[in-house]
């Protein structure tokens, strides 16, 4: 008994981390050595080092690591990435999908920096470790991160297998079953809903999170949904409040600028981006946006400054884009600086590896320069080279394609311009509408093409309406609605389509059963009709039909609402016809 009573307590068994691989990202050699030593003490021997964001990205492109330990201040050693930080590296890694959704990314930072970053970051790391820290703290945090990854891995695997709907259901169940991770599951569910374009449901999920705690990323997610649903004034009001309350939440500035641009408020958008760059001057994507909007407002000096910074900062990046040189050339050409534009083209040829994307950009840039130099035949020849290679280029942005179309119009290459316009307007991800095309034609001094394009679109939409009517007469209600949805994508501002499409959607639901997604689209159209003309003669009848449908399918409506709002009892944003009438 005595021996048992006074026996030395057993040492707690250390977890086995021997199979883990770790990447340490820190510009300070002493700190890297110290962290490496701590990892060795917990039996982690598969360790590699990176001294900057660039070297980290190169290492992660070569292989996966179980854990990334990243110093927040990556510029502290004054290296080539001076001024950048670990948060920006994380955003690049996630944006370009260099790391998987379940990768463990732990930020090493001081307490002062943590207090500023944690409330402002949209893309949060797995964890933060405040310096100075001990080997026990490091071991505990890695263990906690592994536990969290194991918890979420089944959902991540569903997502990677394309089973987003099943993943949403799993998140919803786990929010209740695992309260410790309830907010994380709610966030993941909201992001999945966005990915499926179920925006009202996603907005509701973010709203529920905000009701519990006003987290910056959740408020941002809610505003992003409002923006995607084209409720621009609502999104603007939310984001202006968010920026005022969280002046370091840089993603809110970026989204606010997009919202303002969608409302043709380019000068206000430029001011927002200038404020953001003043706070965080090293994010290349933000500088690109600033250059774009400054160019649009005619502030050529500001555009030149922004695009020069983009080219300089991206010079050693793993994500270099030849379009950055094109943007700078375009700005210098507009400024009349032929020698400057020529120097940028030479830099593109010298510093970028040849390939279809680079060759398209080089030829396009050369075409603009030749045009500035008063050589229209040479300009047309270079433009023809760019268009010939375009089908092989995979990374051309909508902005570059619009620029090419503009040049084609100027050089009377109308057929090539038409092909680009068709490609852009058919792609829902391009962000290019028929109205954008008409405006671009006018900018190129080709009002004749603008009129022709406008008339052609009207003819196409009229044909689609007739096709939808024929499908409806043949009792193909789903086919009729699909055709009208395509027409709306072609002509989102076509007011006549709003009532025709809403009528078709209501008939489909009435005859074939409740469809929550279609009901949301229909109420969106009813709002647009009401906002445009509250006295529209067809609006009362359409609202009455919607009310009758909800009464007819009341059990299905209630079941749908219960499924959508299991995490929050608030009403669906588009749930009732009263919402359409009273707002």
> 210 with 331, same domain?
no
Is the pLDDT assigned to residue 6 strictly greater than 50?
Answer: no
CATH number of the domain enclosing 33: 3.40.50.2300
pLDDT attached to residue 5: 45
E strand or H helix at 141, and its extent? helix 135-160
176 in a structural domain = yes
> 336 with 250, same domain?
no
E strand or H helix at 129, and its extent? strand 127-130
397-434: per-residue pLDDT in tens? 888 999 999 999 988 898 899 888 888 887 877 878 87
Burial 262-274 (b: 16+ CB within 10 A, else e): eeebbebbbebbb
Average pLDDT over all residues of the chain: 86
72-85: per-residue pLDDT in tens? 888 744 444 444 67
Q: What is the mean pLDDT of residues 329-347?
A: 96
pLDDT attached to residue 394: 83
> 174 with 247, same domain?
yes
> 143 with 186, same domain?
no
Give the end of a domain, one of 119, 150, 181: 150
Is the pLDDT assigned to residue 458 strictly greater than 90?
Answer: no
193 in a structural domain = yes
Among 540, 475, 474, CA closest to 502? 540
256-278: per-residue pLDDT in tens? 999 999 999 999 999 999 999 99
pLDDT attached to residue 547: 92
Q: What is the mean pLDDT of residues 541-569?
A: 74
pLDDT attached to residue 122: 61
Range of the domain at 144: 21-150
pLDDT attached to residue 102: 84
Q: What is the mean pLDDT of residues 494-516?
A: 92
E strand or H helix at 50, and its extent? strand 46-50
> 62 with 175, same domain?
no
> 253 with 307, same domain?
no
Confidence class for position 170, pLDDT limits 50, 70, 90? very high
d(CA 573, CA 410): 46
0.85 exceeded by pTM: no
Q: What is the mean pLDDT of residues 216-233?
A: 93
Q: What is the mean pLDDT of residues 24-35?
A: 94
443 in a structural domain = no
Is the pLDDT assigned to residue 160 strictly greater than 60?
Answer: yes
Structural domains counted in the chain = 4
Is the pLDDT assigned to residue 15 strictly greater than 90?
Answer: no
pLDDT attached to residue 573: 36
Among 233, 238, 230, 235, CA closest to 528? 230
395 in a structural domain = no
Task: Decide: residue 199, CB within 10 A, 0-12 exposed, 13-18 middle, 19+ buried.
Answer: buried
Question: For the ranges 228-237, 316-325, 553-562, 569-578, which has the lowest average pLDDT?
Answer: 569-578
> 266 with 242, same domain?
yes
Give the end of a domain, one of 359, 384, 409: 384
> 262 with 188, same domain?
yes
pLDDT attached to residue 558: 76
Give the end of a domain, one of 318, 350, 384: 384
Is the pLDDT assigned to residue 167 strictly greater than 60?
Answer: yes
pLDDT attached to residue 56: 92
Share of the chain above pLDDT 90, in %: 57
- Residue 32 CB-half CA count within 13 A: 17
463 in a structural domain = no
516 in a structural domain = yes
Among 123, 69, 127, 117, CA closest to 93? 123
Question: For the ranges 81-95, 285-299, 363-377, which has the lowest average pLDDT?
Answer: 81-95
pLDDT attached to residue 572: 37
Angle, to 10 degrees, between the axis of helix 323-335 and the axis of helix 284-297? 30
Write out the two tokens for 174.
């786990």
> 96 with 125, same domain?
yes
Cα angle value 426/431/437 (rounded, 5°): 70
Is the pLDDT assigned to residue 117 strictly greater than 90?
Answer: no
Q: What is the mean pLDDT of residues 568-572?
A: 36
From the centroid of its chain, how far is CA 150? Answer: 27
Cα angle value 211/215/219 (rounded, 5°): 75
pLDDT attached to residue 482: 94
Task: Decide: residue 531, CB within 10 A, 0-12 exposed, 13-18 middle, 19+ buried.
Answer: exposed
> 208 with 268, same domain?
yes
422 in a structural domain = no
pLDDT attached to residue 354: 86
pLDDT attached to residue 119: 56
Q: In 10 A of CB 119, how many CB atoms?
A: 15
Confidence class for position 136, pLDDT limits 50, 70, 90? very high
pLDDT attached to residue 77: 46
Q: Are 400 and 407 in contact (CB under 8 A)?
A: no
Q: Are 26 and 108 in contact (CB under 8 A)?
A: yes
Q: In 10 A of CB 507, how many CB atoms?
A: 16
pLDDT attached to residue 86: 85
pLDDT attached to residue 439: 84
Q: For residue 424, give the DSSP letter.
A: H
252 in a structural domain = yes
CATH number of the domain enclosing 259: 1.25.40.10
pLDDT attached to residue 95: 80
Per the model's pLDDT, the better-predicted residue between 239 and 284 turns out to be 239
Residue appearing with tokens 């389509």: 497
> 170 with 139, same domain?
no
Please give the backbone phi and psi of residue 68, each rounded to the nearest 5 degrees, phi first. -115, 120
Q: How far is CA 173 from CA 119, 207, 273, 284, in A?
A: 27, 19, 40, 39
Task: Decide: residue 291, CB within 10 A, 0-12 exposed, 13-18 middle, 19+ buried.
Answer: buried
pLDDT attached to residue 567: 38
Confidence class for position 141, pLDDT limits 50, 70, 90? very high
> 34 with 145, same domain?
yes
pLDDT attached to residue 11: 46
Q: Are 261 and 227 in contact (CB under 8 A)?
A: no
């Amino acid at each position: 008994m005595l021996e048992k009573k006074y026996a030395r307590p057993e040492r707690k068994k250390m977890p086995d981390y021997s199979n883990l691989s770790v990447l340490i990202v820190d510009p300070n050699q002493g700190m890297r050595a110290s962290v490496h030593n701590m990892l060795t003490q917990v039996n982690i021997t598969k360790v590699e080092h990176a001294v900057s964001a660039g070297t980290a990205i190169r290492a992660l492109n070569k292989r996966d690591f179980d854990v990334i330990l990243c110093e927040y201040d990556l510029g502290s050693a004054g290296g080539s990435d001076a001024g950048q930080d670990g948060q920006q590296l994380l955003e690049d890694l996630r944006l370009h999908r260099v790391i998987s959704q379940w990768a463990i990314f732990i930020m090493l930072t001081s307490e002062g920096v943590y207090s500023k970053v944690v409330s402002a970051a949209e893309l949060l790391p797995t964890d933060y470790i405040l310096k100075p820290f001990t080997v026990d703290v490091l071991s505990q945090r890695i263990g906690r991160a592994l536990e969290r990854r194991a918890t979420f891995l089944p959902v991540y695997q569903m997502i990677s297998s394309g089973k987003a709907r099943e993943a949403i259901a799993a998140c919803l169940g786990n929010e209740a079953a695992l309260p410790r991770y309830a907010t994380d599951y709610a966030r993941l569910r909201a992001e999945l809903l966005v990915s499926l374009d179920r925006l009202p449901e996603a907005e509701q999920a973010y709203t529920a999170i905000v009701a519990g705690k006003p987290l910056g990323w959740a408020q941002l997610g809610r505003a992003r949904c409002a923006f995607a649903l084209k409720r621009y004034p609502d999104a603007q009001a939310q984001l202006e409040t968010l920026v005022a309350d969280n002046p370091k939440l840089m993603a809110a500035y970026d989204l606010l600028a997009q919202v303002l641009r969608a409302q043709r408020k380019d000068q206000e958008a430029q001011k927002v981006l200038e404020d953001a760059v003043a706070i965080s001057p090293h994010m290349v994507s933000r500088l690109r946006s600033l250059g774009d909007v400054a160019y649009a407002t005619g502030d050529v000096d500001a555009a030149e400054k922004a695009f020069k910074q983009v080219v300089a900062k991206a010079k050693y990046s793993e994500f270099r884009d030849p379009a950055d040189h094109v943007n700078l050339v375009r700005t210098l050409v507009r400024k009349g600086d032929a020698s400057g534009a020529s120097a940028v083209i030479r830099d593109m040829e010298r510093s970028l590896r040849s390939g279809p994307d680079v060759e398209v950009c080089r030829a396009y840039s050369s075409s603009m320069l030749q045009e500035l130099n008063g050589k229209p035949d040479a300009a047309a020849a270079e433009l023809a080279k760019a268009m010939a290679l375009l089908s092989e280029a995979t990374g051309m942005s909508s902005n570059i394609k619009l620029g090419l179309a503009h040049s084609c119009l100027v050089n009377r290459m109308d057929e090539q311009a038409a092909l680009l316009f068709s490609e852009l307007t058919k792609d829902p991800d391009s962000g290019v509408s028929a109205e954008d095309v008409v405006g671009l034609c006018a900018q190129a001094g080709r009002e004749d093409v603008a009129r022709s394009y406008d008339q052609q679109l009207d003819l196409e939409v009229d044909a689609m309406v007739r096709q939808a009517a024929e499908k409806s007469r043949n009792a193909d209600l789903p086919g009729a609605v699909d055709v009208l949805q395509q027409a709306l994508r072609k002509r989102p501002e076509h007011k006549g389509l709003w009532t025709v499409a809403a009528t078709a959607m209501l008939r489909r639901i009435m005859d074939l059963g409740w469809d929550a997604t279609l009901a949301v689209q229909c109420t969106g159209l009813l709002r647009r009709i009401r906002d445009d003309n509250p006295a529209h003669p067809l609006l009362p009848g359409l609202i009455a039909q919607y009310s009758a449908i909800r009464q007819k399918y009341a059990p299905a409506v209630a079941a749908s609402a219960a499924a959508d709002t299991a995490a929050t009892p608030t009403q669906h944003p588009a749930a009732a016809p009263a919402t359409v009438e009273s707002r």
